[in-house]
Amino acid sequence: MFRLNEKLAVITGGGSGIGQAIATLFARQGARVVVVDLTEEAGAQTKAHIERDGGFSRVYACDVGNAQEVAHTFDAIVQGHGDVDILVNNAGISHVGTIETTDEEAFDRVYRVNVKGVYLCTKALVTRMAARGGGVILNMASIASLIGVEERFAYTMSKGAVLTMTRSVAVDYVGRSVRCNCICPARVHTPFVDGYLSKAYPGHEKEMFEKLSKYQPIGRMGKPEEVAALALYLCSDEASFITGQAFPIDGGVLMK
């Protein structure tokens, strides 16, 4: 079960954190994995992990918010490796602030990566998927898509858009065998979290880490590997009856 033998999977933001966990798990399950990240260096570690285990991986540098770069990159992927079976739109950035403390530049930056990036990458492949008889698109949303999260105005806005894009694509392409779902994680312990705490709370990292962990009633943050396991299921043939859905993986946040 849950094998992805010889399927071509493209993972944006696959160089670290959740994206890296998804990429390496998909490769272990037989997929040929293409990592798309801002630079080739950003994806090099993921590629090395996969190849060390005997898997296939390639890395393409691309700014997902740049239309020309996305078109060029995805054309190169298809020409070089064949039709894409799975697209995981994982690339994203965060932002801390209320509507009052979020300036226009920050708002545009979050929108450009988190919303426009998903739009551009999906548009680059969905027509090809539909023409060849199907494919799977999985978007990384957030529990912020479903509830209000304090001081995450721009981020919440962007992930709400990811959720509604997911449902729109699912409705438009269900008759053409393209499935589209999204995952809505609560806080997940990634290098991004450690970097954020170090920058925002120098000297108080441990205290703030415990506070952020306790936000989840289960008492800890999620692990990238746990999100990857859910992603594997949703992108596998075993999930062929599922489309247009949002899957929380939240340590009990939504039951509060």
In CATH, what number is assigned to the domain containing residue 233? 3.40.50.720
Domain around 123: 8-185+225-245
Same domain, residue pair 161 and 234: yes
- Domain assignment present for 161: yes
- Counting Cβ atoms within 10 Å, is residue 136 exposed (0-12), middle (13-18) or buried (19+)? buried
What pLDDT, on the 0 to 100 scale, is given for residue 161?
98
- Domain assignment present for 46: yes
Same domain, residue pair 140 and 14: yes
Q: How confident is the model at residue 155 (pLDDT cuts 50, 70, 90)?
A: very high
Same domain, residue pair 103 and 193: no
Q: How many domains does the chain have?
A: 2
Same domain, residue pair 199 and 239: no
Same domain, residue pair 95 and 195: no
- For the chain, the average pLDDT equals 97
Give residue 185's identity as a one-letter amino acid code.
Answer: P
CB-CB contact of 40 with 66 (8 Å)? no
For 37-54, what is each residue's pLDDT tens digit? 999 999 999 999 999 999
> What would the two tokens of residue 167 be?
């449902």
What pLDDT, on the 0 to 100 scale, is given for residue 192?
86
> How many CB atoms sit inside 10 A of residue 167's CB?
16
**116 Rama sector, left if φ>0, alpha if ψ -120 to 50, beta otherwise:** alpha
Catalytic: 155?
yes
Same domain, residue pair 117 and 138: yes
* Active-site residue, selected from the candidate residues 60, 155, 173, 215: 155
Same domain, residue pair 76 and 200: no
Q: How many residues does the chain have?
A: 256
pTM score, whole prediction:
0.97
Same domain, residue pair 22 and 147: yes
Same domain, residue pair 159 and 200: no
Q: How confident is the model at residue 115 (pLDDT cuts 50, 70, 90)?
A: very high
Which DSSP category does 1 fall into?
-
- Domain assignment present for 22: yes
Please check the confidence at residue 146 and state whether its pLDDT lies above 90: yes
Same domain, residue pair 159 and 214: no
